[in-house]
Amino acid sequence: MQTILVFRTTKLECWSRKFAGIQAFARTRDWRLQTIDCTNGTIQVAPLLDFWHPAGCIIESDGASTNIHPRDFGDLPTVFLDHSPELVHQGASVVRHDSAEIARLAARELLERDFAAYAVIGWHHPVYWAQDKIDAFQKALALHGRSAEVFQPSDSEKDDITGLQRRLQKWLLKLPRPCGIFGVNDLICEIALSAATALDISVPEDLAFVGADDDPLICETTIPSLTSVQPDFFRTGFAAGELLDERLTDPTHPPRLYVVPPLQLVRRLSSRLFQRSDPVVKKALARIEREATAGLTAHQVLADFPCSRRQAEIRFRAATGRSVLEEIQNVRFIRALELVHDSSIALGAIADRSGWPSSLVLSRYVRQRTGKTLSQLRKEGAAVATTL
């Protein structure tokens, strides 16, 4: 059994989904994975390699804060996950997300609402993925005769959130309204959204926000909840295993870049414009987002309306274009798709964990929406090489 070291450099929630993908591939090769936690500071690579004698290494990295480089591993096969494609020229294979496509999905969401103005918020460090998103977002807008104002946080503001929010508030107040804003990740978008709500700016009517990474710890706890593009973290982990296996099987195999497209845009209240403003409907939508996967029923939602059930249904559909039940099912469907990509979760357990009354009901709904079974969707998620 070969030992593979997996270096973890982020504390973000997405780590679990990346690692699930790595584990899924490792099981096909009978690898033993040893995780090295690098989230608390600098680590020494050479002593770790001497201690474990690994066959290869996967380095999960944000591409900005890590102090780990391909040269630290010598001739040992390595794959960098979520890192600069430039590392391919330094002898390491690289798996990265399609940052440009993430930005295009965000641009499409905002352009569909035909705002008067658009803006994009960058990241503190001049990292490749942030600049790729800014460039792609601006190009998408240019195709439609629009432009985007850019807000660039400074390096020092990463540790000075108060100072960053003050500068963001001044910037937000100067933006034409209504304005659609894309934040290159959920972290920076959350700060901007918080700055807007502190100013009592109406979201999404005056300022609409779209982030990236779909981190539920952020997106589902902001007020209002944050729309975000969901990358395929599971697939990037699986792909990292594939690239490492190429090098282990054939040491002469050249390192290469593997780009993974995003899964989808998950629409929440920060960008969802209604056909007419209805605070009761907004409250109902927020409750559905919070409780749909915990067994919430349409009857419970409709009971919150100060009118008859029939009038409540008419009111909800007029504002959202969906019935209450359809909205609940959509939230559950999105959660079920997330769980399908986690091979550590049995298919039979997905219905219960995503709020469906039974596996049969979920299966019928999934087939209706996708034309495929849960099993087929899982196999497609695992077949990384054939889908990219």
Report the C-alpha gap between 253 and 243 in whole angstroms.
10
pLDDT grade, residue 274 (50/70/90)?
low
- Tokens representing residue 162 in the block: 């108060």
| Max avg pLDDT among 190-194, 250-254, 308-312 | 190-194
Query: How is residue 23 written in tokens?
Result: 């584990």
Two tokens, residue 349: 């357990």
User: In this predicted structure, what is the pLDDT of residue 381?
Assistant: 60
Q: What is the pLDDT of residue 25?
A: 94
Helix (H) or strand (E) holding 147: none
Q: Which amino acid is at 234?
A: F
- Cα dihedral sign, 380-214-245-33: negative
For 257-289, give one letter per residue: b (16+ CB within 10 A) or e.
ebbbebbebbebbbbbbbeeebeebbebbbebb
pLDDT category at 237 given cuts 50, 70, 90 is: very high
Reported as a pLDDT band with limits 50, 70 and 90, residue 122 is very high
What is the mean predicted confidence (pLDDT) over 353-381?
A: 86
Pairing of strands 179-183, 117-121: parallel
What does the pLDDT read at residue 11? 78
The pTM assigned to this predicted structure is 0.76
Q: pLDDT class for 276, splitting at 50, 70, 90? A: low
pLDDT at 310 over 80: yes
**The pLDDT of residue 275 is above 70:** no
Give the Cα separation of 19 and 35 in Å (integer): 10
pLDDT tens-digit series, residues 332-344: 988 888 888 777 8
Task: Select the more confidently predicted residue: 66 or 105.
Answer: 105
The pLDDT of residue 318: 79
| pLDDT tens per residue across span 130-186 | 999 999 999 999 999 999 999 999 988 888 989 999 999 999 999 999 999 999 999
Q: How far is CA 333 from CA 60, 84, 367, 379, in A?
A: 29, 33, 11, 18
Using the structure block, give the residue that is written with the tokens 């070969």: 2
130 φ, ψ (degrees, to nearest 5): -70, -45
Tell me: pLDDT of 45 over 70: yes
Distance, in Å, from the CA atom of 20 to the CA atom of 327, rounded to the nearest integer, reads 29
Report, as an integer, the average pLDDT of 116-136: 93
Taken in order 285, 291, 295, 297, is the CA torsion positive or negative?
Answer: negative
Res 382 pLDDT > 60: no
Two tokens, residue 8:
């973890």
- Helices 309-320 and 279-291 pack at an angle, to 10 degrees, of 90
Percent of the chain at pLDDT > 90 equals 63
Report, as an integer, the average pLDDT of 358-387: 75
225 phi/psi in degrees, rounded to 5: -65, 150
Of 29-33, 47-51, 334-338, least confident by mean pLDDT is: 334-338
Instruction: Give the residue carrying structure tokens 């969802």.
Output: 272
Cis preceding linkage at 178, omega within 30: yes
Reply yes or no on whether the pLDDT at 384 is more than 50: no
User: Ramachandran region of residue 295, left (φ > 0), alpha (ψ -120 to 50) or beta?
Assistant: left
**What pLDDT does residue 36 have?**
93
pLDDT at residue 109 is higher than 60: yes
CB atoms within 10 A of CB 65: 13
Cα four-point dihedral sign 227, 121, 263, 382: negative
Answer yes or no: is pLDDT of 388 > 50. Answer: no
Are 162 and 156 in contact by the 8 Å Cβ rule? The answer is no
Q: What kind and span of H or E run contains 23? A: helix 14-29
What tokens were used for 299? Answer: 């009857």
Question: 40 Cβ partners below 8 Å, 6+ apart?
Answer: none
Query: What percent of the chain clears pLDDT 70, i.e. is strictly above it?
Result: 95
Return the number of other C-beta atoms located less than 10 Å from residue 306's C-beta: 7
Helix (H) or strand (E) holding 67: none
Are 210 and 183 a contacting pair, CB within 8 Å? yes
What whole-number distance in Å separates Cα of residue 304 and Cα of residue 348?
33
Ramachandran angles phi, psi of 163, nearest 5°: -65, -40
State residue 127 phi and psi, 5-degree precision.
-90, 155
Mean of the per-residue pLDDT values of the chain:
89
